[in-house]
Each structure stands twice: as structure tokens, then as C-alpha cells.
Amino acid sequence: MSDILTPALGESVSEATIAKWTKKPGDAVKKNELLVELETDKVTLEVFSETDGTLSEILKAEGETVNKGDVLGRIGGASAAVAAPASVEAPKVEATKPASHAPMPSAASALDNAGISAAAIVGTGRDARVTKSDALAAIAATQAAPLPAPSSAPRATEAREERVRMNRLRQTIARRLKDAQNTAAMLTTFNEVDMSGVMAARSKYKDIFEKKHGTKLGFMSFFVKACVTALKDIPAVNAEIDGTDIIYKNYYDIAVAVGTDKGLVVPVLRDCDVLSLAGIEKGIAALGAKARDGALAIEDMQGGTFTISNGGVYGSLMSTPILNSPQSGILGMHKIQDRVMVENGQMVVRPMMYLALSYDHRIVDGKEAVTFLVRVKECLENPERMLLDILEILVGVSGLLIALYALYSGLGLWMSAQVQYIEQGNEPMRDEDGLTILDHMPKAHIEIMKHYYLGVRGFLSRLSFISLLAALAALLVSSKFVVFLFGIGLGIDCLLFLTYENRAKFLSETSPAERHFDAMQYALFACFCASDAHVSQIRSASVLKTHNFRRIKNGLSTQPRRLRRLKRHRLFHLRHHQQIYQSPQIANLDG
């Protein structure tokens, strides 16, 4: 005897409901054969047989609630007896008695034409035989008789109403939607967007896109990208309330509502900020297929930060979507409809769509909600703006390359300062083992290192210059004020760095101490460029600590307070090193 147990239901799921038994007691079952379907708050689970045998009993009927580990039924080893069907007695057929005398041929012909049976007429002929006159009289009587009134249609025996128990998913949908209305201060704001740009881009690239990526280019990927851009500008819409705290999400997991035969499900597309349009389309297609097949896992529906619902595929012109708790925002898409718009005093026909943003007014102000929709509208009406994510990454990488270039230049100056210091006859500096730098690096090795140093330094200088030009080009098309300020700061740092590099290049009579100072200056410039790019932070005067590399794009919004601290930190080190190298001890060493 083998027990059928309730499987693990997943995180945050405590119970399930018996949806359907596929077998009845006494049915033979095979190993890995489907026995019962369970419905949870989010998905449908299937329980399979672990052995061959016969379903001996069912302990939990359909509609009952079960928990993890509960026994649903038992499988035995005996086969079920199959009852033979009862024999059905054939109905008896009465033999038709033949008539004593057939009607006369002329009478029979007339009755056949009129559709009257001869057996229903009493004949007046010999031996009660039906004559032609009997037939004509019967035909006349039939035509003169009034037609019988039609009988009233019988009332249908089945009930005019049907009561059906809500499945687990429908109960969960009803409860969560009502809880969202009761908990959140929900409000909806509207805007409209001209879809000409998106439709033109889709028509232009859809064939190339499908051939290259193996998936169709739809509208949803544009909306996901537009929402991610807007969420970065308005982080309150990407946040949630937990008690008296506000949790701001620095990641962008977009939930996409999908309608199925069993109800509405909302699977989550992870890390949309780092996905390309092709990645978004493939992810949405995969989640949609799993939703329609009932194959969504619980993990596929947890952790969303924002939701998009597309009622336009069903013809909806305008709606007020309900929040997907505990999220603070949901965007409703609607039907694209040609409407007459006024542009520059001219009436033109544009494909327009209404957008609806429902938001939690406890955390999102009206100004932020309207600004969010305006950002989405701007991105959709100018699809090229969504390429700014790539350009912003380029800006950050540019700062990092310049930082590496500065560090490498500083390292070269430090090495040359060490060599010059020793060549001037000064007492060389020794390490803990009493060895000088010449003991560690013979002259031949120094020449080899110098050769490779100049090659790598030239490559880094060209690469950083190209990346800087690309970053400046990105700034020209960017409307983000923070990114623009970052570009100005990076440009100033580059000018200072180049000025210092030219000073070290043309002043060949500099002392080793000044070379050391220049090297430290390069290290400081490297630190500040990297901190501007927000891919590194200052740990000391010349040490970079890489952090949060995955969120390069998010880090472009550098906080002004942190910038002020960094500038004070840099000025302190500059003054500190100037005081050191102007001291009498250093002057005597240079002597």
C-alpha cells in the first residue's frame, strides 16, 4: 500500500485545493501517471503516481483544502474487478395484422396523394372495402377540419441558473484585488501617446529582428523599456510600503498580466534594465506560453516591482487597472485607434493610444505620477531615446578607462622617479629585506617594462579618447540633467589630467620628489574620474575599490552630497602632498 502525498507547495504558499481527480477508486494506475491536480494561490500542481497498482481509496475529495504532506489517497497492488455490463432485453415487436380487404385501386391512389392512411377510413363497399367515394369524402373532411392549435413549448427541465464553486486561482484573484482596493489609496491618471514612431520602427526592423533573434518584434518590449526609463526617473513608482517604511527597489522586475482560461496570471520578467529588446520579447513569449499551458512555477510570479496590463488586445479603449499589491504602480495599455490630432495648426490623423497609470497615492504624489506618464510618452514617441541606456553605460565606461589611463601614467612616473632618484647618486630607498629597486628590477628588465609600458599607455590613451568622444556624443542627445552634469565633471577632470600630463612631459628637469607628486596627482585624478563614473569609490589616495559593477547605469545619478565629500577629499590630499614635498627633508634629498 502506497500513500499519495501532497507535494511541496512553494515559498509563501501554505495550502492548496483538490481541483480534479483523474482516476476513480478501483482504476488501475501506472508509475508516473497523473492522478490529481492541485490548485494553489498562483499555479496548478500535478501529482503523479510513484508506483504501479490500483487506486484503492481517495481520502481527499475534490474541493477540499490540503496542506503539504497530507495523504490524498492510497494505491494498492490488486487490480480492480471490472463488472460485466447487464444484458439489455430487446423490445418485442408486434406483428402487424394484415387488412381483410385492400382499398380499391382508385381509392388507394387518391389516399396516397392526400397522405391519408386507408386504415383510418371505414369503407362502405362490399366487406367494408374502401371505395373511391369513401376516399374523396375523407379527403374533403380533412381539408375542411380546422388545424389543431400548436401545443405550448415544454419548459426546459434544466435549471435556469448554475452555481459553480470558484477555483483556487479565482478566489485568490478576487481576494487580492479587493485587498488592494481596501489597503492602497489608489488613484488613476491618464495620458495619450502617438504610436507612429513605435509602429514605424517596428515595421522597419521587424523582418530583420525576427531573422536575427528568432522572435517577433512586438509593442510590449518598447513599453517595458519605456517604463524602465520612467521608473529610473521616478523611483517612488518602483517602491512599496512595508509598515511605516518605504522600500525603494534598485532593480526592475516587470510583471506582465496574461489572461488564461483559468483566470488572470501575472508572471514576472526579471532585470528588464539589462535586457535588450530581443531579450524582453523572448522572455515575454516564454512566460506567455507557460501561462497558457498552466506550467508557470511559483517563482515565475513572485517579486515583481511594477506591472503592465494590455487590455488593448481585447479592444479596451480606456480602463482603470487595479494595483498588483504590494506594488505602487500599474500601467494600463489600450487599443490603438486612428484619431484626428492638431499639429502645428494642421489636422492630421495619428494612431493614438490612451495610457492609464494607477498608483498608490500614499507613496506616489500626483506630480510624480503625471511625470511618469510623460516620460513613458516621450520614450514611445521618440523610440531612439531608449538607446540612451547604452549611451549611459558608455559614459560610465569612459570614466573608468580614463581612470585606468591616469593610474597607468602615474605608475610610469613613479617608476621613472625611482630610477632618476638613484641615478642622481642619492641613497636608494630599501625595502624590509634591505634590497633596492635596482636589485628587484635590473636595467634590462626596466627597458623591457618601459617598452611595454609605452605601448599599453598609448593604447589606453587612444581608447580613453575614443570613449570620451562617444560619451560626449551621448551627452548631446541626453535630456537627463544628472548625466549632463556628470559629463561636465568628467570633462573638467580630463582637462586637468591632460594639463598635468603635459606639465610632466615638458618639464624634463623635474626632481624625483616632483615626479612622485605627479604620480600621486594621477592617482587622485584616477580616483575622481572613477567616482564620477560611480563604478569605484575612494578607499585611500590611490586605491580603487570596485563595487556594484552590475548596476553601472543606475550609478550615474551620483548624489551631490557625495560629490562634495569627494572634492573635499581630493583637495585635502593635494594640500597634504604639497606640504610634504615642500618640507626641508625633501629639499635636502633633492639636493
Q: Per the structure block, which three cell numbers stand in for 508?
A: 624634463
Query: Is 176 or 77 the better-scoring residue by pLDDT?
Result: 176
| Per annotation, catalytic residue among 101, 361, 547, 576 | 361
Instruction: Give residue for cell 621613472.
Output: 416
Question: Where along the chain do the CATH 3.30.559.10 domains lie?
Answer: 168-381
Q: Is the pLDDT of residue 375 over 60?
A: yes
The DSSP element (H or E) to which 134 belongs, if any, is: helix 132-144
- Cα distances (angstroms) measured from residue 581 to each of 11, 423, 426, 437, 590: 63, 20, 16, 21, 10
Given a cut of 80, whether residue 129 has pLDDT beyond it is no
pLDDT (tens digit per residue) in 153-194: 555 555 688 888 777 777 777 888 888 888 899 999 999 999
Say yes or no to pLDDT of 94 above 50.
no
Scanning the structure block, which residue is given the C-alpha cell 389543431?
A: 148
Per-residue pLDDT tens digits for 304-359: 999 999 998 888 999 999 998 889 999 999 999 999 999 889 999 999 999 999 99
The three cell numbers of residue 200 are: 514605424
DSSP H helices, 424-480, are 437-440, 443-477
Could you tell me whether strands 34-39 and 245-248 are parallel, antiparallel, or unpaired per DSSP bridges? unpaired
Q: Could you say which architecture CATH assigns to the domain 2-76?
A: Beta Barrel (2.40)
CA distance linking residue 542 with residue 540, whole number of Å: 6
- What amino acid is encoded at 89 in this protein? E
Exposed, middle or buried by CB within 10 Å (0-12, 13-18, 19+), for 389? middle
Query: How do beta strands 264-265 and 258-259 pair?
Result: antiparallel
194 is catalytic: no
Tracing cell 629597486 back to the chain, one arrives at 437
> End-to-end alpha-carbon separation of the chain, Å?
98
- How confident is the model over 554-588, as pLDDT tens digits? 333 333 444 444 444 444 444 444 443 343 433 33
Question: Which residues, at least 6 apart from 115, have a Cβ–Cβ distance to it below 8 Å?
Answer: none
Per-residue CA distances from 227 to 221, 306, 584 (Å): 10, 9, 62
Across the chain, mean pLDDT equals 70
One-letter amino acid of 209:
F
Q: Which of 27-36, 245-254, 357-366 bottoms out in mean pLDDT, i.e. has the lowest?
A: 27-36
> Start-end ranges of CATH 2.40.50.100 in the chain?
2-76
Q: Using alpha carbons, select from 222, 252, 224, 256 the residue that is nearest to residue 238.
A: 252
Is the preceding omega at residue 267 within 30 degrees of 0, hence cis? no
| Residues paired with 16 in a beta bridge | 66
Across the strands, what pairs with 254? 269, 306
**How many C-beta neighbours within 10 Å does residue 242 have?**
9
Q: How many CA atoms lie within 13 A of 81 on its CB side?
A: 3
Q: At 344, which helix (H) or strand (E)?
A: none
Whether pLDDT at 236 is above 60: yes
Compute how many other C-beta atoms are within 10 angstroms of the C-beta atom of residue 219.
18
pLDDT in tens, 401-438: 666 665 655 555 555 555 554 445 445 555 566 665 55
Give pLDDT, residue 539. Answer: 26
Which residue shows C-alpha cell 526609463? 229
Instruction: Give the separation between CA 231 and CA 225, rounded to whole angstroms.
Output: 10
Instruction: Record the cell numbers describing residue 105, joined without a space.
Output: 385501386
Say how many C-beta atoms besides its own lie within 10 A of residue 335's C-beta.
16
What pLDDT score was predicted for residue 402? 60
- Kind and range of the H or E run holding 392: helix 388-423
Catalytic residue among 365, 445, 547, 576: 365
d(CA 312, CA 168): 27
Distances from the Cα of 5 to the Cαs of 18, 50, 66, 220, in angstroms? 12, 10, 10, 41
CATH architecture of 168-381: 2-Layer Sandwich (3.30)
Phi-psi region of 516 (alpha: psi -120 to 50; beta: other; left: phi over 0): alpha
Is 361 labeled as catalytic in the residue annotation?
A: yes
384 in helix, strand or coil? helix
